[in-house]
Amino acid sequence: MTSVAVAGRPGRAVSQLAIRQIRRGGLIVAVLAGGMTAIVAATFDQVMADPAAAGSLQALASNPAIRTLFGDPIGLDTAGGFTVWRVGTVTTVLLGAWAILATTRTTRGEEEGGRWDLLLSGRITLTGALARHLAAVMAIAVATAVGITGALIASGTPAPGALIHGMGTGLAGLFFGATAALAAQIFPTRTPATGTAVAVLAVTLLARMIGDGVPALGWLRWLSPFGLMALSEPYVHNRAVPLLVLLAAAATVTVAVPLAAARRDVRGGLVAPPTGRPARLRLLDNVEAFAIRRVLRPLTGWALGIGAYFLLIGLTATSVTEFLAGNPALAGQAAEAGFADLGSVAGFAATLFALLAMPVGGFATVRLSAFVAAETDQRLALLAAQPISRARLLGAETAATAAAAVLLISVAGLTTWAGVALTGGHLALTAALHGVWNTFPVVLLSLGAAVLATGWAPRWTGVLGALPAIGGFLLLVIADSVAAPAWVKSLSPYSHLAPVPLAGADWAATAVMLALTAVLTVAGLAGYRQRDLRS
């Protein structure tokens, strides 16, 4: 009686659908979070080889700017505390951001695309479908928590601290997944839902940064998953209360999801979209203008995020560098921990500007992925049937993305300069701009890789595009940590990035990266010209 058995479990089928949609990304996140944790924990002995190191790293904790940027460095003298400080924020942001994107994509995105109409015409209810999709994301958060805890325990750190940190990360993942699901009930489309949840992530991260940096505002940390994780002080005090607060917050938001869903129609939200508006005909006259039009909105969002972060960098730069300049031993330790040349504003800026290639390379990849998505869901069909060559279609998108990336990195330079200037530090505007522009070839490499994937393997655009800017950075960090041979490190574009404005640009490396970008782009365009559009 197979048919009866199948008919009797609509919920299980929906759960399987939910898992299928997120398993690849979820696996990558869980493995990456656990792997990064294990690798950093393994480097602790290396960093601590110098007997003076423990003391000077502890001294670092007294600097508000360091707290602001990297979190409260508590328990740095233990392998666990050191690991939490080095990767805790990164893994939490990684898991939180993924949970948000996966949740809004599989719930609101599918519903907006009309694919839930059929699903919900069956026996499964809207709240049932939502619960099962959210549960799938939450299962990945739990798996990530288990992975991190396991990695820490396997590295020989005390189990209670490992458990507190792992659970904190997992709970933050649950909280952001639930937040995204709630936002997806409020807004009838995916973009504002994702935007709102990402804003919550950014604001709560900022709240922890401010709470860490400004003692009078320390209470802000109670309002932020990141702050609560810091307050739990893994490996030092192993406090459970902040985690209970985080659990309560995640549970509250989770319960609010079905309550909100019950008050809305399928394909609708709690807020109704405007039903009509006058036509805005700007930037619709050719594909190039249209590519610019479509990039403007995401560009604004990314510029706000990146601008805020680098303003913060600028505001704290003087304080950090003065502190490090007065503590040479500490500066050496910071170099060991992956932050070299932090002793001057120029060096500090140069080090942090290199990080800029990661989000901006990610931006370029996301834009090309969106272009492939437009092709896959047939939005591109009407344009592709116009007298416009394929090369021009993809070329316009690539050029608009490259221009937007230049603007993004310039925003970072401007806000860093403004932050430094506001706090009375010394960083010339031209030096700041040279510094950020120096990272552009790495961004272009990511864009070129994404174009190549668009032309030959559109399904892999996201992965291939992220490889140079994000994969390259991870490679360098990992290679540094495990003391890999030089040629491994040299595979990362970051190892060829000169510390501008501290030093001059490495023009040979820049030329190589630009040439490589050109090859990738031309090959991608060639592939796109001859392949079938996805249907």
Partner 1 sequence: MTDIALRAVHLTKRYGRLTALDDLNLDVIRGEVFGFLGPNGAGKSTTIRLLLGLARPSSGHAEVFGVAAADVTRAHRLLAYVPADVALWPHMTGAEILHLQARTGPGTDLAYRDELVDRFELDPSKPARTYSTGNRQKVALIAAFATRAPLLVLDEPTSGLDPLMEREFRTAVRSARDRGQTVFLSSHQLAEVEAVCDRVAILRAGHLADVATMSGLRALHRSEVTVSYTGPAPALAVVPGVEAITETGEGQLRFTLTGPPAPALRSLAAAGVTALAVREPSLEEVFLDYYGTENGR
DSSP structure class, residue 532? P
Q: Output the six-digit token pair for 167.
A: 């659970």
Q: How far is the CB of 486 from partner 1 (least distance, A)?
A: 44
Cα three-residue angle 251-255-261, rounded to 5 degrees: 145
Distance CA 466, CA 364 (A): 9
Angle subtended by helix axes 345-376 and 287-325, to nearest 10: 150
Tokens 């479509």 belong to residue = 294
Which residues in the 213-252 window bind partner 1 by CB under 8 A? none
In 3-state terms the chain splits into helix, strand, coil percentages (rounded to 5) of 80, 0, 20
Q: How far is the CB of 533 from partner 1 (least distance, A)?
A: 5
Stretch that binds partner 1, among 10-18, 381-389, 432-440, 499-507 (CB under 8 A): 381-389
CB nearer to partner 1: pick between 399 and 533: 533
Distance CA 533, CA 381 (A): 9
Q: How far is the CB of 480 from partner 1 (least distance, A)?
A: 44
Burial of 52 (0-12, 13-18, 19+ CB in 10 A): exposed
Q: Which of 52, 259, 262, 284 binds partner 1 (CB under 8 A)?
A: 284
CB nearer to partner 1: pick between 45 and 377: 377
Distance CA 306, CA 298 (A): 12
Rounded alpha-carbon distances, angstroms, from residue 258 to 81, 98, 335: 38, 22, 49
DSSP codes, 129-188: HHHHHHHHHHHHHHHHHHHHHHHHHHTT--HHHHHHHHHHHHHHHHHHHHHHHHHHHH-S
Cα three-residue angle 371-186-117, rounded to 5 degrees: 65
CB nearer to partner 1: pick between 62 and 378: 378
CB nearer to partner 1: pick between 2 and 275: 275
Q: How far is the CB of 404 from partner 1 (least distance, A)?
A: 17
Stretch that binds partner 1, among 359-367, 379-387, 478-486, 494-502 (CB under 8 A): 379-387
CB nearer to partner 1: pick between 237 and 293: 293
Q: Which of 206, 383, 505, 509 binds partner 1 (CB under 8 A)?
A: 383
Is residue 212 within 8 Å of 206, Cβ to Cβ? no
Cα-Cα end-to-end distance for the chain? 37
Q: Which of 158, 206, 238, 290 binds partner 1 (CB under 8 A)?
A: 290
Residue 379, interface with partner 1 (CB under 8 A)?
A: yes
DSSP codes, 55-77: HHHHHHTT-HHHHHHH---TTTT
Binding track over 488-527 against partner 1, x by CB under 8 A:
----------------------------------------
Size of site (CB under 8 A) for partner 1: 36
Query: What sign does the CA torsion over 443, 444, 446, 451 have?
Result: positive
Q: Which of 270, 388, 483, 519 binds partner 1 (CB under 8 A)?
A: 388
Residue 283: count other Cβ atoms within 10 Å of its Cβ: 14
Residue 275, interface with partner 1 (CB under 8 A)?
A: yes
CB nearer to partner 1: pick between 184 and 463: 184
Q: Which of 9, 24, 45, 285 binds partner 1 (CB under 8 A)?
A: 285
Residue 189, interface with partner 1 (CB under 8 A)?
A: yes
Under DSSP, is residue 50 helix (H, G, I), strand (E, B) or coil?
coil
DSSP structure class, residue 494? G
Q: How far is the CB of 290 from partner 1 (least distance, A)?
A: 6
Q: How far is the CB of 178 from partner 1 (least distance, A)?
A: 26
Q: Which of 279, 486, 487, 508 binds partner 1 (CB under 8 A)?
A: 279
Which residues in the 109-138 window bind partner 1 by CB under 8 A? 112
Residue 287, interface with partner 1 (CB under 8 A)?
A: yes
Q: How far is the CB of 189 from partner 1 (least distance, A)?
A: 7
Q: Which of 216, 385, 486, 508 binds partner 1 (CB under 8 A)?
A: 385
Q: How far is the CB of 281 from partner 1 (least distance, A)?
A: 5
Q: Output the six-digit token pair for 73.
A: 């460095």
Name residue 348's amino acid. Answer: F
Q: How far is the CB of 244 from partner 1 (least distance, A)?
A: 41
Is residue 430 within 8 Å of 438, Cβ to Cβ? no
Which residues in the 326-355 window bind partner 1 by CB under 8 A? none
Cα three-residue angle 264-269-272, rounded to 5 degrees: 115
Stretch that binds partner 1, among 27-35, 61-69, 280-288, 478-486 (CB under 8 A): 280-288
Which residues in the 24-83 window bind partner 1 by CB under 8 A? none
Interface with partner 1 by CB under 8 A: which residues?
A: 112, 189, 273-281, 284-287, 290, 294, 374, 377-379, 381-390, 530-533, 535
